[in-house]
A = this chain, B = another copy of it.
Amino acid sequence: MGWEKSLLGLKWRQLMRPGLCLLVLLCCLTLGPRPVQGDKVLVMPVDGSHWLSMKLLVKELAARGHEMVVMVPETSVLIQSSDFYRTENFKVPYTTSQLEASINQLQSGVFLEPPRITDLFVKVQHLLNFTNLQVKGCEGLLYDKLLMQRLKAERFQLMLTDPFLPCGSIVAESFNIPAVYFLRGIPCGLDDMATQCPTPPSYVPRLFSGNTDHMDFLGRVKNMIMYIVESYLCKIMFVKFDELTSRYLEQDMSYKELLGHGAVWLLRYDYTFEYPKPRMPNMVYIGGINCGKRGPLPADLQEFVDESGEDGFVVFTLGSVVSQMPEDRGKLFFDAFSRIPQRVVWRYTGVVPDNAPANIRVMKWIPQNELLGHPKVKVFITHGGTHGIYEGICNAVPMVMLPLFGDQEDNVLRMSVRGVGEVLRVFDITSDKLVETLNKVIHNSSYKEKMLKLSAVHKDRPIEPLDLAVFWTEFVMRHGGAEHLRTAAHDLNWVQYHCLDVILLLITIVITVVMGTIKGCKVCFRKCCRVKMTMKKKSE
């Protein structure tokens, strides 16, 4: 009976939906999470692509009435002033050209030769040179006493920072304000270590291991070796960070320990990109935060892609850092593109040959997300940075991936195992290979179908990543931290965490009991034997 009533009741319940939404609106206006207007937030970003997504959160927080102050090193490339936030410049003890040289070193040789196993150490050395330079930049800020005093006097409620570099968290600790971290990750898995997040090496692949989350025995051996090597490399990698932390804060504290004080970690990934693995209570996943909003395309570009016909067009970019390549590599791409019917929009500042085909539009900077959102886009050629990958997923565009350095090799592997793209190596690419792969990804419908499914899962979420990031940032301001999310594991050392002391005690007890029992049995046995022998002798 109730069942029929329930069926009949469907209609008015459907009508309830707009009613419910009206209720949401009313709650939003009266009860809903209130913005903490007037709070002051100090922002310590990392330059380059790292800043591009953090800027979205900074702007949104400013729009919600928070006073945002962004710290900008004088050599900044992408961090610029804005109507939304105030900027504070600080001096750094290196020049722009020194910084550029250090960045160029990170990508040296990627177009020319395949990576070797020993390259790991060279890569780490290059990354070390780069981060050490940045640490010097931090010192430029921290030891500028006048600036630091002025900032401290402003009584900020929060530090929003990217812990890829240590300045932000050191300032937060020094000013005694809570910190919210905004990042993709920190080399060596320092983020997992600092949050006390378990990452079992049996199914959580290490960076550069070439493993997915499904490993056979050899894969697990490789992963474990990478785990051990990483532990060693990390010690070298963060030695300057540790030293600066201890020196500036005048206490014996490693950078990892300092990071453990972070209130909330806003991590730019989700489970359509990352493999399913444990996470800690203060880790918030905001993957895809960068492709929430799309602006209009410039008129001429709009026309160029609108008129790409049935064949559509290809978007090609190697990220915010790499806009050039050796001339012979460049020619190879021009050659390949001349052999496909698609139009190509390419972010490229290198040499353009005189006979460049007409289907290519070369640009210094492209509106990537806007292009990927166009209905005629067929494929996205990308280096595999997380921003690009998420814009690809969000707009459901299959990919041809050319990883260059850093986490890119790892990122593209995640996409290729999901069947939404193909990987090519930029050092041994040929125009034939490129044409063949482009045609494969464009014409084999499985790439698009899988990407559509992945995109649907990615976008089907209870709350948008930007709103989630805003919520947790404001939460930390409202409550002066997020102490209820801080795990007790932070108060344990390595031996205690793994209960090695307890295991040792229990093993000792077990051994003592077993040995005692055996000895007792032996004594009893001997006594019995003696009694028997005596009785035997007596009876004899």
Contacts and interface: CB of A to CB of B under 8 A. Distances in A.
A502 B224 contact: yes
Contact of A203 (B472, B479, B492, B501): B492
Nearest to A86: B3
A220 B495 CA distance: 12
Given A281-B279, A471-B462, A497-B200, A21 B17 contact: no
Given A471-B462, A479-B460, A202 B499 contact: yes
Interface stretch (A5-13, A350-358, A420-428, A514-522): A5-13
A229 interface: no
Given A18-B29, A496-B220, A198 B201 contact: no
B272 A281 contact: no
Report the copy number of this chain in the oligomer.
Answer: 2
B462 A467 contact: yes
Interface stretch (A61-69, A90-98, A104-112): A61-69
Contact of A87 (B2, B203, B463): B2
Contacts of A488: 203, 213-214, 275-276
Contacts of A202: 489, 492, 496-499
Contacts of A279: 278-279, 281
Contacts of A498: 200, 202
Nearest to A33: B460
B203 A487 contact: yes
A13 B83 CA distance: 12
A123 interface: no
Interface residues of A, number: 89
A28 B35 contact: no
A456 interface: yes
Interface in A212-247: 213-214, 217, 220-221, 224-225
A368 to B, nearest CB: 23
A491 interface: yes
Interface in A365-400: none
A6 B65 contact: no
A163 B169 CA distance: 43
Nearest to A63: B13
Given A14-B37, A21-B25, A85 B2 contact: yes
Interface in A143-162: none
B83 A6 contact: yes
Interface in A84-138: 84-87
Given A6-B83, A63-B13, A197 B24 contact: no
A2 B487 contact: no
A505 interface: yes
A253 interface: no
A248 interface: no
A277 B281 contact: yes
A2 B506 contact: no
Interface in A259-294: 271-272, 275-282
Q: Return the 3 tightest CB-CB contacts between A and B, nearest first.
A: A3-B86, A21-B28, A213-B488
9 contacts: A2-B84, A3-B85, A6-B86, A202-B489, A276-B282, A276-B487, A278-B280, A462-B468, A463-B463
